[in-house]
Structures are given as structure tokens and as C-alpha cells.
């Protein structure tokens, strides 16, 4: 096995092109488990530890660019105010030790349907910046996931960063698992209000071969809020609308039965999470509006 | 491959390291530092917790080559000769050690918590230790130990 350690992003891309069979290594919280258990015997490890260019974040022109190698712990501390939904999701990942090492780039690289970072990225229309010696592409997050643990990343590409707008309205993330810490999600739901676009964004995890947006539910709620003049004069969200929203989220799921839960349970739980979080974001929005007025 | 790094302030060199090997294996099997425990090798139990450049991590999930040129702190580095650290002494005094297998990881993680947060709330202690499993104590004595260490450190006991 070779241990390849580029010291710059450019060098990392060159090695990636020359050695497409190498396993990329960031925080190692997915890769090392597989190597320790012999599930993976890579011919080479391409370690990004010494490539600092992709380990920070920056903000420009109304977009936050999160380097793929930024550990969750720093994302929570440094971006929690700008990206509350993503930070909520990051807080549920593993334990402090895991959040100190694990990265959003690694979450995307694994492309697990249960990756906790993905729903929040979907709800906020994130773009994934992928790069190779051939150049850079910005992929909408909806086009990134192509199947269970499969992504649109080409063999010579690295994930460089994720781009998304700082929150312009309330955001929520909710996860069902057997306990609070250290669980792979049974199902997850993320929601973001985009008041300036008068739109609602969603993301669902662990309920289909890939993380996905519940577009029918988004469209229903967006139309409902506009149709009833809620953005001009926000009132409590009618129970009927919240219920319908929950039903549409549940109906969009294509879950499976597995050791963590049955498909029926997942669908039911998703409806509950959707209803609960839509109330939370809407109540939050109304309170903030009143405080501003 | 050869890996050069610092452990508890001392320069160390490990030879014939397999590229897929973990930091935990290097510490235990190549450097003779068996304090960090190996239980799950999948980040679930925290018994292998060490610091890497001052950040608490599971040594079983760090590839050996990733520590080249870096600083690792293990449970062996907590005591000053025969003098136990505040956190170690508090674990003894509070009766937080039974079989002791989880103890090294908990000591490193609790030390990291108190370095960052001198007077943590119970919720903060539980959150900080959420990745460290103990099969013996039921955690109550561990909570007592961390509270005691915090009080002693901040001079309230
Ligand atoms: C105990 C434990 C608990 C966990 N709990 C959770 C949880 O609650 N929620 C959750 O979502 N995940 C969880 N995980 C999984 C894991 O921590 C996350 O998926 C994490 O985001 C992986 O990041 P990493 O940097 O450690 O990735 P690595 O293990 O380094 O890499 C993961 C994958 O991504 C690829 N990769 C990494 N960086 C890049 C890049 N820049 N470009 C291209 N490919 C890349 C790697 O080749 C590999 O295939 C847990 C893991 C453990 C061990
Ligand atoms: S042995 Fe590393 S976390 Fe269990
Ligand atoms: S004292 Fe035995 S596992 Fe904690």
C-alpha cells in the first residue's frame, strides 16, 4: 500500500489524476473503520491532512464556501450562526471525538443515504464544488447523489468545497435514532425557510437510496403560504396545512426495512418530524417578524 | 514506512509501519504505550482517545501516516512522574474506576473538556463524554469525578 501525502491542492489533484485507484483520506472516520475491519484494502491512501487549502471556510458575495476538509467541530463553532440548520445536523454526528475529525467532504464522499450533512444541504440549495486537473465544476446538491453510496464524482475528481447562502430565515434539522449520541439515523429531516424567495426548502435522509428533496411538500407549502397571504401577515400555521405537509414528506420517501427500523416506521416518523419542524420554523419566523416590527 | 512524531513531548520514531495501520496500533504495538485501549476499532467506545495537535480524537481512526510531524498526547502523559493529574486523582477519589478499561480514554477526554471549559454544567459533561463507553460504573461516579476535578481545578474544593 502507498501512503500519498500531497502538500498542496494542486499536487493533490495531480496525484488523484495519476492514481485514480487511491482511496482519498480526510478525517478517516469512515475510511479507517473499513480498513480496520478489512472491508477495504486500498492500493494507496491519498491523505489530504497536509493540504490546508480545503480545510477552512470563507464568505463572499452572499455565499459561504465551506472547505471539504473543515471538521464538524469547527463548522459548529465558526458557522453555527450563519448556517444554523447545517450546524444542528453537525451536532448530531457521532461524538465530540468524531466531530473533531469528520468532515462534510468525507460525508459527501461516502454519499451514504444516512449522511447527516446532506438533508440540510438539500434544504438550502447547496452547490458542491468538485475539482480535477481538468478544471472545476459546481454541481447542484440534487445532482450529486446518484445511488446508495454513489455520487457524481469522477475518478479523477476531489470534492473541494460546498457553497451555500447564509440562512435568511429559520432552519431546523431533526433526526430519529435509538439514542442521542452516536447513532446512524433511522430517518432525518431538514427544513429551511427562504423568506426573501417566499419559498420552503426540505431535505430527507435515510429514507430512500439517496438523500432527497420532498419537492411536492415544498411546492404545497410554498403555494399555501403565498395563497393565504402568510408572508405579508404571518399567523399561526393551520394544523391542516402542517398535516398535509407531513403527509407529502412521508409520501415522498422510498424507505426500506432494515435493522434500524421498518419502512412503515420511517414513513410515519418522517411525517411527524416534518410537522414538528415546520411548526418550529414558522413560529420562529413569526416571532422574529414581530420583534423586528 | 517510517513515522516520526511527538508523543507526550518526546520525539518518537516508528519503523516498518504498514500504511493502513492506525495510530492506536502504532502507540500500543510499536511504541510500547498500551495506555490507550483497543476495544472496538470503529470510533464507538472512546477507549482509545488521545489528543492530536491538542484536539481529542479516536486513535483507532487516525491513520499512522497522518501523524507525521504532529504532536500526540496519551494517558501516559497526564501524570507528572508519580504525581497524578487533578482529573486522575478525582477519578480515584470518586471511585470512578472499576475494571479500568474505559478509564484512559475518559481521562483524556475529561482533561480536554476541563482545559476548554473550567466549570462545565452536567449537560456539558454528558455531552463531552458521550463518545466514551463504560460497561461497569453506570457513569454516575464518572460524573462525580469530573465535577470534583472541576471544583478542585477552579479552587472551590
Ligand atoms: C463512531 C462513528 C459515528 C458516526 N456518526 C455519524 C453520524 O451520526 N452521522 C453521519 O452522517 N456520519 C457519522 N459517521 C460517519 C462519518 O463520521 C462521516 O461520514 C464523516 O463525515 C466522514 O468524514 P471524514 O472526513 O472522516 O471522511 P473519510 O473517512 O476520510 O472519507 C470518507 C469518504 O469520502 C472520501 N473523501 C473524503 N474527502 C474527500 C474529498 N475531499 N474528495 C473526494 N473524496 C473524499 C473518502 O475517500 C471516503 O470514501 C460516524 C462515524 C463513526 C466512526
Ligand atoms: S477503540 Fe477507538 S473508539 Fe473504540
Ligand atoms: S470501569 Fe470498566 S468499562 Fe468503565
In sign, the C-alpha dihedral spanning A92, A169, A112, A188 is positive
In a domain, B147, yes or no: yes
Ligand 2 near B40 CB (within 6 A): yes
Q: Closest residue (by CA) to atom 28 of ligand 1?
A: A28
Task: Say how far apart CA A11 and CA A44 lie, in whole Å.
Answer: 16
Across the interface, whether the CB atoms of B42 and A42 are under 8 A apart is answered no
CATH of the domain at B52: 3.10.20.30
- A97 contact residues in B (CB cutoff 8 A): 43, 46, 49, 56-58, 109, 131
Ligand 1 near A188 CB (within 6 A): no
Q: From the CA of B130, how many Å to the nearest CA of chain A?
A: 6
Q: From the CA of A112, how many Å to the nearest CA of chain B?
A: 17
- A28 contact residues in B (CB cutoff 8 A): 61-63, 66
Question: In whole angstroms, what separates CA A262 from the centre of its chain?
Answer: 23
In a domain, B80, yes or no: no
In a domain, B81, yes or no: no
Task: Say how far apart CA B23 and CA B126 lie, in whole Å.
Answer: 26
Is the CB of residue B64 less than 8 Å from the CB of residue B25? yes
Task: Say how far apart CA A225 and CA A278 lie, in whole Å.
Answer: 12
Fold of domain A171-292: Enolase-like; domain 1 (3.30.390)
A155 Cβ partners below 8 Å, 6+ apart?
A: A20
Residue-number span of the structural domain to which B141 is assigned: 86-154
Same-domain check for residues B64 and B103: no
Is the CB of residue A98 less than 8 Å from the CB of residue A105? no
Same-domain check for residues B46 and B102: no
Number of Cβ within 10 Å of residue B131's Cβ equals 24
Same-domain check for residues B62 and B90: no
CATH of the domain at B146: 1.10.150.120
In a domain, B130, yes or no: yes
SS3 A44: strand
Chain A: residue nearest B125 by CA?
A: A96
Q: Which atom of ligand 2 is nearest to the CA of B43?
A: 3
- B20 contact residues in A (CB cutoff 8 A): 1, 35, 41-42, 45
Same-domain check for residues B97 and B71: no
Q: From the CA of B22, how many Å to the nearest CA of chain A?
A: 8
Residue A122's closest CA among A240, A38, A204? A204
Q: Is A36 exposed, middle or buried (0-12, 13-18, 19+ CB in 10 A)?
A: buried
Residue indicated by cell numbers 469512515: A30
Q: From the CA of B93, how many Å to the nearest CA of chain A?
A: 26
Domains in chain B, number: 2
Across the interface, whether the CB atoms of A96 and B130 are under 8 A apart is answered yes
**Distance, CA B68 to ligand 1 centroid (Å)?**
21
pLDDT confidence tier of residue B157, bands split at 50, 70 and 90 = low
* pLDDT by 10s per residue, chain A, length 293: 999 999 999 999 999 999 999 999 999 999 999 999 999 999 999 999 999 999 999 999 999 999 999 999 999 999 999 999 999 999 999 999 999 999 999 999 999 999 999 999 999 999 999 999 999 999 999 999 999 999 999 999 999 999 999 999 999 999 999 887 788 899 999 999 999 999 999 999 999 999 999 999 999 999 999 999 999 999 999 999 999 999 999 999 999 998 889 999 999 999 999 999 999 999 999 998 888 76
Same-domain check for residues B40 and B95: no
Q: What would the pLDDT profile of B90-118 be if each residue is shown by its tens digit?
A: 999 999 999 999 999 999 999 999 999 99
pTM of the model: 0.97
Distances (CA, A) of B102 to A135, B5, B107, B130, B140: 48, 25, 9, 13, 14
Question: Given B75, B98, B123, which residue is the final one in a domain?
Answer: B75
What are the start and end residues of each CATH 3.30.390.50 domain in chain A? Answer: 171-292
**What residues of chain B, 65 to 84, have a C-beta less than 8 Å from chain A?**
65-66, 68
Residue A277's closest CA among A170, A119, A142, A117? A170
Task: Say how far apart CA B103 and CA B47 lie, in whole Å.
Answer: 7
Going across the sheet that includes A44-47, the strands are A2-4, A44-47, A23-25
Going across the sheet that includes B10-14, the strands are B10-14, B3-7, B71-73, B49-52, B55-58
Question: Given B75, B100, B130, which residue is the final one in a domain?
Answer: B75
SS3 A54: helix
Question: Given B41, B75, B109, which residue is the final one in a domain?
Answer: B75
Task: Say how far apart CA B23 and CA B16 lie, in whole Å.
Answer: 13
In a domain, B12, yes or no: yes
Task: Say how far apart CA A51 and CA A37 lie, in whole Å.
Answer: 27
Q: Which of B99, B106, B107 to mutate to test the pocket of ligand 3 (most atoms within 8 A of CB)?
A: B99
Residues with C-beta less than 6 Å from any ligand 3 atom: B 97-102, 134-137
Ligand 1 near A107 CB (within 6 A): yes
Please say if the pLDDT value at position B156 is more than 80: no
Task: Say how far apart CA A210 and CA A190 lie, in whole Å.
Answer: 15
Nearest ligand, CA B59:
2
Which of the following CATH numbers is that of domain A1-49: 3.60.20.10, 2.40.50.180, 3.30.43.10, 3.50.4.10?
Answer: 3.30.43.10
Across the interface, whether the CB atoms of B58 and A101 are under 8 A apart is answered yes
Amino acid at each position: 500500500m502507498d501512503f500519498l501525502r500531497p502538500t498542496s491542492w494542486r499536487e493533490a489533484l495531480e496525484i488523484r489524476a495519476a492514481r485514480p485507484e487511491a482511496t482519498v483520506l480526510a478525517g478517516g472516520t469512515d475510511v479507517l473503520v473499513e480498513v480496520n475491519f478489512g472491508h477495504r484494502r486500498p492500493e494507496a491512501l491519498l491523505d489530504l491532512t497536509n493540504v490546508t487549502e480545503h480545510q477552512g471556510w470563507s464568505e463572499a458575495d452572499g455565499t459561504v464556501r465551506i472547505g471539504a476538509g473543515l471538521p464538524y467541530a469547527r463548522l459548529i463553532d465558526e458557522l453555527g450562526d450563519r448556517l444554523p440548520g447545517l450546524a444542528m445536523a453537525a451536532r448530531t454526528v457521532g461524538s465530540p471525538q468524531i466531530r473533531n475529525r469528520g468532515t462534510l467532504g468525507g460525508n459527501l464522499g461516502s454519499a451514504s443515504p444516512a449522511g447527516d450533512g446532506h438533508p440540510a444541504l438539500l434544504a438550502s440549495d447547496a452547490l458542491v464544488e468538485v475539482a480535477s486537473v481538468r478544471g472545476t465544476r459546481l454541481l447542484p446538491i440534487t445532482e450529486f447523489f446518484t445511488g446508495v453510496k454513489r455520487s457524481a464524482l469522477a475518478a479523477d475528481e476531489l470534492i473541494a468545497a460546498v457553497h451555500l447562502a447564509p440562512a435568511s430565515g429559520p432552519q431546523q434539522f431533526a433526526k430519529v435514532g435509538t439514542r442521542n449520541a452516536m447513532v446512524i439515523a433511522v430517518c432525518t429531516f431538514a427544513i429551511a425557510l427562504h423568506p426573501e424567495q417566499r419559498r420552503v426548502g426540505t431535505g430527507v435522509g435515510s429514507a430512500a437510496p439517496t438523500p432527497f428533496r420532498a419537492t411536492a411538500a415544498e411546492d404545497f407549502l410554498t403555494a399555501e403560504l403565498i395563497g393565504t397571504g402568510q408572508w405579508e401577515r404571518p399567523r399561526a400555521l393551520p394544523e391542516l396545512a402542517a398535516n398535509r405537509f407531513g403527509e407529502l414528506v412521508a409520501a415522498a420517501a422510498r424507505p426500506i426495512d432494515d435493522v434500524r427500523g421498518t419502512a412503515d416506521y420511517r414513513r410515519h416518523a418522517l411525517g411527524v418530524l416534518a410537522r414538528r419542524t415546520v411548526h418550529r420554523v414558522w413560529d420562529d419566523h413569526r416571532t422574529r417578524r414581530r420583534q423586528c416590527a | 514506512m517510517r513515522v516520526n512524531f511527538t508523543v507526550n513531548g518526546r520525539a518518537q520514531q516508528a519503523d516498518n509501519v504498514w500504511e493502513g495501520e492506525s495510530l492506536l496500533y502504532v502507540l500500543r504495538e510499536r511504541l510500547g504505550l498500551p495506555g490507550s485501549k483497543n476495544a472496538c476499532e470503529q470510533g464507538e467506545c472512546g477507549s482509545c482517545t488521545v489528543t492530536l495537535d491538542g484536539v481529542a480524537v479516536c486513535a483507532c481512526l487516525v491513520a499512522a501516516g497522518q501523524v507525521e510531524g504532529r504532536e500526540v498526547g496519551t494517558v501516559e502523559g497526564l501524570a507528572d512522574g508519580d504525581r497524578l493529574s487533578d482529573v486522575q486523582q478525582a477519578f480515584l477519589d470518586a471511585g470512578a474506576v472499576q475494571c479500568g478499561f474505559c478509564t484512559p480514554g475518559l481521562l483524556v477526554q475529561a482533561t480536554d473538556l476541563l482545559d476548554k471549559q473550567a466549570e462545565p454544567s452536567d449537560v456539558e459533561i454528558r455531552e463531552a463524554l458521550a463518545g466514551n463507553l463504560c460497561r461497569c460504573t453506570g457513569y454516575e461516579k464518572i460524573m462525580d469525578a469530573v465535577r470534583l476535578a472541576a471544583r478542585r481545578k477552579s479552587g472551590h474544593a
